[in-house]
Amino acid sequence: MQTELPRQRPILALVIRLGAALALAMMLVFVKLGSESGMHLAEILFWRQLPTVPLVIGYLALRGNLGKLKTQRPRVHSKRALYGLVGMFLNFGAVTLLPLAEATTFGFTSAIWAVILSAVLLKETVGPYRWAAVVLGFAGVLVIAQPGHTHIPLFGAAVALGSAFMIALISIQIRDLNRTEEPLTIVFYFALFTLPVLALFLPFIGHWHHTPYQWALLTGLGFTGLFGQLMLTAALRFGPVSSVIVMDYSGLIWATLFGWLFFSNLPPASTWVGAPLIVMAGLIIAYREHKLAIERADTVPPGGVNV
């Protein structure tokens, strides 16, 4: 089947991804504050997803564009929702178990996992530069985690690394979905398919008498999560993963700042040493992916790509 690629606008993709990094950093602050106030993780996830469905429907209805929600790929959306739900549990769980800066830094290993996945699942030939980046990145993880000699709980580090692994899987799925679907459509079905699953937990863990402070946290969580997800998806529509992922590293700046402002926490020396190693590994991978994409472009037919 021939599928037209959306028009590539790399500068716009980078700007959008930069905004996504800020929105998602703010969302993680709301997650951590909500958890510290006594709310269960599954409940936080439910309220994170809930505003998406009515807001997207309302927005498209006002514009007379409800037809954009039609899809020929419900099975792909359901698979993306399953992976996304697991990824959110791990991502939000890492934030509740680790300081913001460390949780964010471990999340950067998604680029490293993407290289491993491309070699194992896609049987792609991975050259020495990217394998060296993988080794460099995991060296950074070891510097930060320092098994047995650190303030970082190993379980929290494992959860954060699992979250990064899922992000790598999800990025590949979103890039594929962007060939046929609008960003709003992808975000809408992610929320639509995950909300019923999360609702099953509410009778057992939900608290229906939240304080005004907790409702404010949930409101902020819902809006920042929605806008962050929209911008993440839109960035992948206008630029390849290997290029836009560079902007994700700005999240470490926001995580460090917000960790200091809201939780009086600054990263220790091990994080300042290990984080640059992980970031450097990601940048090497992004550069090599960019070079490979240019080489592949010479072999792509003018009318589109085969999928």
Helices (H), the chain: 10-36, 41-49, 52-62, 74-97, 100-107, 110-120, 128-145, 154-177, 183-199, 202-205, 212-238, 241-244, 250-263, 269-297
- pTM given for the model: 0.80
**Region 244-250: what's the mean pLDDT?**
78
- Place 243 in a pLDDT band, splitting at 50, 70 and 90: low
Q: Say which residue, 275 or 241, is predicted with more confidence.
A: 275
pLDDT tens column, 86-141: 999 999 999 999 999 999 999 888 888 888 887 877 677 788 888 898 899 889 88
pLDDT tens column, 34-86: 999 989 999 999 998 998 899 889 989 998 888 889 988 999 999 999 999 99
CA distance 4 to 302: 10
**Is 1's pLDDT higher than 50?**
no
User: pLDDT at position 84, please?
Assistant: 92
**Region 134-154: what's the mean pLDDT?**
82
Q: Which domain holds residue 48?
A: 2-306
User: pLDDT at position 174, please?
Assistant: 81
Which helix (H) or strand (E) is 3 found in, with range? Answer: strand 2-3
CA distance 69 to 185: 5
Q: To the nearest whole number, what is the mean pLDDT of the chain?
A: 84
Residue % of the chain over a pLDDT of 70: 88
- Place 235 in a pLDDT band, splitting at 50, 70 and 90: confident
What domain count does the chain have? 1
